[in-house]
Structure 1
């Protein structure tokens, strides 16, 4: 885990405001979880173990579901990208250069989606398209419901 700062623009961003509070918290946690290249293993056990250890002990199923849903929501919003490299599932935080300034960057442990290990060499400046997998829904919605007393049948 790394110490990271949060720029004030994060809280004012329309893109960030478009996701749930859970997703925002997970995104801030992922910023500490990933390496200086903005990349980390896409392994729920590692992510939850690093970011939400006490929640995992207290409520393992609920914690797993909430973090999984949040990461899927972040992926759908273009804030993270999930992909595989050399048979390793990886996660990249989009807009890495605009959310973090790394003063003394170390070489990345894993490649970015474009194959680079140093964010200064990367061509990625926008969220990466073509996610590894579609998001999963854990609980079905109720569908559209009519208003009481408006049934015309």
Structure 2
């Protein structure tokens, strides 16, 4: 089922997107409408053509080329879940506010977050501290309380610095995932308030 989605003004100013063909950009916007509330949709060019370009004389091979362009530019991530091929919209959860969650979900949120985090790590969006940095003591060490701590990396790629929160079990949670989780938490809180106002 198609959903109403938001296009932020920054979309039109994105230099990476501006280099793509106009129809590839339109396809990208269309994926937002047909993705589930976690930003995942079937990686099916025939289905995407029928939903997004029903009246256009565009071949399936062209749709596939545009999908490849969006994947190559980091807008979409290919993944497989329960034996089916999907596309995950990498920044969907950051840019879309879901007011009323749909019952139909292609991929559960924890799996989507894992796919995004793995992509970010393998594509240089996030980097792990090197062994040398750890030996030099860059970042905060556990103070023995077992509570969460933050570590800052000096070797962060250009852009904002990377902050990681270490959980009690030592699993790192990237800042991007922290933002997504916080956004989802706020949205769930809004939903609870809306439900309470109807009671």
TM norm. shorter chain > 0.5 = yes
Q: Is the 8 A contact 1:83 1:91 kept in 2?
A: yes
Give the C-alpha shift of residue 114 in structure 1: 5.7
TM-superposed deviation, 1:124: 6.2
Corresponding residue for residue 39 of structure 2: 38
Alignment-derived partner of residue 91 in structure 1: 87
Q: Partner residue of 1:18?
A: 19
TM-score normalised to the size of structure 2? 0.53
Distance 1:107 1:123, change over 3 A: farther
* Larger Cα-atom Rg: 2
Aligned to 1:109: 105
1:70 is paired with a residue whose SS is helix
Deviations 1:60-106 (A, max 9, x none): xx431221111100000000011111110111111112332212223
Q: How high is the TM-score relative to the length of structure 1?
A: 0.67
TM alignment of 1:2-151, pairs within 5 A: 2-55=3-56, 59=57, 62-106=58-102, 109-111=105-107, 115-116=111-112, 122=113, 128=119
**TM-superposition CA deviations, 1:105-144 (whole Å, max 9, x none):** 235622269615xxxxx356668267xxxxxxxxxxxxxx
CA distance in 1, matches of 2:9, 2:3: 19
Larger relative helix fraction: 2
Q: How many residues align?
A: 121
Deviations 1:46-68 (A, max 9, x none): 1111111112xxx3xx4312211
CA distance in 2, matches of 1:52, 1:19: 17
